Structure 1
Amino acid sequence: MITATQRPPGFVLRDHVFRVPLRHHDPDSPEIEIFAREVVAPGTEGLDLPWLVYLQGGPGGKSPRMPFPAWVRQATQEFRVLLLDQRGTGRSTPATRQTLATLDSEHEQAEYLAEFRADAIVRDAELIRRELMGDRPWTVLGQSFGGFCALTYLSFAPEGLREVLITGGVPPLSEGPDEVYRACYPEVLAHNDAYYARYPEDVDTARRVRDHLADQWVLLPTGAVLTPECFQTLGDMLGQASRFDGLHALLEEAFVDGRRGPELSDTFLRGVDGALSFAGSPLYAVLHESIYCQHEASQWSAHRVRSEFPQFDGSGQLVVFTGEMIYPWMFEQDPALGPLRGAAELLAKKADWPALYDLDRLERNDVPVAAAVFHDDMFVNRTLSLRSAERVRGMRTWVTNEFAHDGLRADAAVLERVLGMARGQL
């Protein structure tokens, strides 16, 4: 169903709403809504263009809004682009502390949230493809977690795919969450080194902030307590070139002189709140470790594996920031996550997660696949990515250190490169 049409400069947008089953395997399942925005260049609305569906990173991230990153304009030179709000995100039926409160128990919440992984997202996409295009295949572009979904798509429904493009998101096909975090924590340490080499004065500032938080009760604007361990999670910003310098921008305005001496500024606290709150993407925290789980429980993997890297213990002279890891204490400190704590605990213990990839089918793949693997990616480890790429028949990889994890957003040439690779032009 088309619900609206807009014409911002340079684009024509049509908003779609689709109804899909919450549980694709259950014919009696209740339905949820999936929102998607169709984007074309002006003057091409009536043309029979091929479709490209974009699978956003996350989990729990909605598709881009205006102003669009440059790759969207690049894509509309050839495609009718569909920006999909994956189930639970954006304008699709939301899954948040507010909506999940309508369920009777944390067990019901956990059962509901277990239906929001890549397998369900792919089945949603297939229903939408058939509604829009019939039997014709489309191109899939997956960024980060969207790349994970793309390989699940290639496993479950390759007949729906014309070509698969992945940027910063070739998933581990067999490795579980423990192996993932053992590979990622050293990358986080390397990004800390790079950060402090660029901003050596922040060694002292970060230590002052941590020590201040250890001595003072500091509240963020949302009401969350800013603890030293919470402060460390600002290191998530170091994984994207577009945000790397943002940590320094926060720290250089961290302190002001108050009535009782130095205190953390409102500017700093508001910026930290915006960077750390999960109010806009609670699924990211609730489901993050489950995206790596196949027939095993995560058991708060990032929290357990962190003990193998004492550099992160928070007590040294150097404040070592963490990455996109999710820790159980976050569900105590963030008001957006607090009501979901019980469900998160149950999901962390869930051991019967189904497989996300069909390795036999991937080894027989005949759909063109190309992937940009970012050499210094802090979020998706290049070694695990390249190991997976070897198991997908015909996958072509471009390994580059020119970009960080957000390379697709940074430069539309990334899309041009992987598209050319998939078509054998490069």
Structure 2
Amino acid sequence: MTAADTADTVTYRHSGLVCTDHTLSVPLDHARPDGPRITLFAREVVAEGREHQDLPRLLWLQGGPGCPAERPHAATAWFRRALRDYRVVLLDQRGTGRSTPADRTTLADHPDAAGYLTHFRADAIVRDAELLRRALQGDRPWTVLGQSFGGFCTLTYLSHAPEGLEQALITGGLPTLTRHADDVYRAAYRRTLAHNDAYFARYPGDQRLADAVAAHLAEHDVRMPSGERLTVRRFQTMGMTFGMSASFDSLHYLLETAFVDTPGGPRLSDVFLRGLDAALSFATRPLYAVLHEPVYAQGGRATAWSAHRVRAEFPQFDAEAGGPLRFTGEMIYPWQFEEDPALVPLRDAAENLAHRTDWPALYDPDRLADNEVPVVAAVYHDDMFVDREHSLETAAHVRGLRTWVSRAHAHDGIRTDAAVLDRLLAMARGETSDCTA
């Protein structure tokens, strides 16, 4: 990284924070440093009054894939806790936020969109992070906090650039190191069914409502405010949020607005349709859909629309089978690239990626077995998004990794409870032992 690769920084203050925006020019393909380049954006935040102190930096690796980092004004529980000890670096992972965006507007006419998108997985994100670290603090290592997919990236960091890490903190994001995507989604469907059972146990009246909505959609051409058709299968994907702490309640209060009486009979309300519209569109995170399965691809095997294929093993999700409606979870299907306008221009690229076999390895099991970086991880006992058993299997293969299995938190525990980061930091300091709580 040279001075020419860094743009001018911009610093400003608000709400007791001092924010500095950084932009860097980085290679699209880190194996070709002289090839095409993209822009990387990161925001560094420090508590006002401490901006001149030599505080260590903590890099926040956001969940996803394909989601920008939190913004300071909306950052959640972990953020204010982290500012007590660190300068926090909020990285917009490549393709998201203010980093060169990858979406339908930038990729629709790209001559090789699929080839371009092969450079947007965890291995490239880690190389970006290393260029950023060197630009900000030279050879000094930093602490990484990885949430969900950010935890996947952290395992890649430990595999490919452990010299950049002083310590690693992971929440809800210990991926399987070797299993195929089929194994991941097979386990995910089982967990999603369990979350459906829990949801309808909490709100038993919602089963009748969900079934009625599905029946109405099967018989009518219903359009959301965006003009997109709302199909039964698309309505089922509302279960994607089930793993978050308040998602049951949010869906319940949306469902209770579903129908209004009209002279022509019951119809779905604008309030309900607008809520679904906002939740179901991938316009704000198209890479999440495009890369969701490729983040598991390695070892020469294609994912081949794994979630779509494995779903056939779970007839409970078949809305035409006559049983009670069940919501699907964190799965992406090929038909979504036909029904969501934000994804339609990316359909061919997604199809290409689904059948690609030349993916490089994301993790180095041998290097992880010899790991020397202090690593601690919160594993959420009933996590809908990341399988507990897969996580513990991985933890056993990373030398020195210490886990805390929490029954008290959902997948977004780091965002809802500052005590999660407190616990991880205490574990990293050796003040708290591994346990299940």
TM-score (normalizing by structure 1): 0.98
Q: Within 5 Å, which residues of 2 pair with 1:171-210? A: 171-210=175-214
Q: Select the residue among 353, 365, 385 that pairs with 1:347.
A: 353
Q: Within 5 Å, which residues of 2 pair with 1:68-147? A: 68-104=75-111, 108-147=112-151
Q: Distance in 2 between matches of 1:244 and 1:398?
A: 25
Q: Select the residue among 246, 271, 280 that pairs with 1:276.
A: 280
| Aligned 8 A contact 1:371 1:397 in 2 | yes
Q: Distance in 2 between matches of 1:198 and 1:102?
A: 47
Q: Distance in 2 between matches of 1:47 and 1:2?
A: 22
Q: In the alignment, which residue of structure 1 is the partner of 2:435?
A: none
Tell which deviates more after alignment, 413-422 or 50-59.
413-422
Q: In the alignment, which residue of structure 1 is the partner of 2:239?
A: 235
Q: Select the residue among 246, 251, 255 that pairs with 1:251.
A: 255
Q: Distance in 2 between matches of 1:242 and 1:35?
A: 30
Q: In the alignment, which residue of structure 2 is the partner of 1:378?
A: 384
Q: Distance in 1 between matches of 2:132 and 2:234?
A: 40
Q: CA deviation at 1:184?
A: 1.0
Structure 1: 5+ residue stretches without partners: none
Q: CA deviation at 1:2?
A: 4.3
Q: Distance in 2 between matches of 1:408 and 1:178?
A: 28
Q: In the alignment, which residue of structure 2 is the partner of 1:369?
A: 375
Q: Which amino acid aligns with 2:179?
A: E
Q: In the alignment, which residue of structure 2 is the partner of 1:337?
A: 343
Tell which deviates more after alignment, 410-419 or 332-341.
410-419
Q: CA deviation at 1:67?
A: 2.2
Q: Which amino acid aligns with 1:127?
A: L
CA RMSD of aligned residues (A): 0.9
Q: In the alignment, which residue of structure 1 is the partner of 2:4?
A: none
Q: Which amino acid aligns with 1:370?
A: V
Q: Distance in 1 between matches of 2:404 and 2:390?
A: 14
> In the alignment, is residue 309 of structure 1 matched against residue 314 of structure 2?
yes
Tell which deviates more after alignment, 93-102 or 136-145.
93-102
| Aligned 8 A contact 1:2 1:14 in 2 | no
SS of alignment partner, residue 16 of structure 1:
strand
> In the alignment, is residue 8 of structure 1 matched against residue 14 of structure 2?
yes
| Aligned 8 A contact 1:61 1:89 in 2 | yes
Q: Distance in 1 between matches of 2:396 and 2:63?
A: 23
**What is the count of residue pairs matched by the alignment?**
423
Structure 2: 5+ residue stretches without partners: 1-6, 433-437
Q: Structure 1 residues 168, 2: closer, same or farther in 2, change over 3 A?
A: farther
Q: CA deviation at 1:4?
A: 2.5
SS of alignment partner, residue 33 of structure 1:
strand
Q: Distance in 1 between matches of 2:69 and 2:356?
A: 28
Q: In the alignment, which residue of structure 2 is the partner of 1:163?
A: 167
SS of alignment partner, residue 159 of structure 1:
helix
Tell which deviates more after alignment, 9-18 or 340-349.
9-18
Q: After TM superposition, what 4+ stretches of structure 1 lie above 3 angstroms from structure 2?
A: none
| Aligned 8 A contact 1:87 1:94 in 2 | yes
Q: In the alignment, which residue of structure 2 is the partner of 1:288?
A: 292
Q: CA deviation at 1:6?
A: 2.3
Q: Which amino acid aligns with 1:350?
A: R
Q: In the alignment, which residue of structure 2 is the partner of 1:398?
A: 404
Q: Distance in 1 between matches of 2:142 and 2:368?
A: 18
TM-score (normalizing by structure 2): 0.96
**1:77-123: per-residue Cα shift (whole Å, max 9, x none)?**
1101000000000111000000112413xxx0000011100000000
Q: Select the residue among 54, 62, 69 that pairs with 1:63.
A: 69
| Aligned 8 A contact 1:242 1:410 in 2 | no
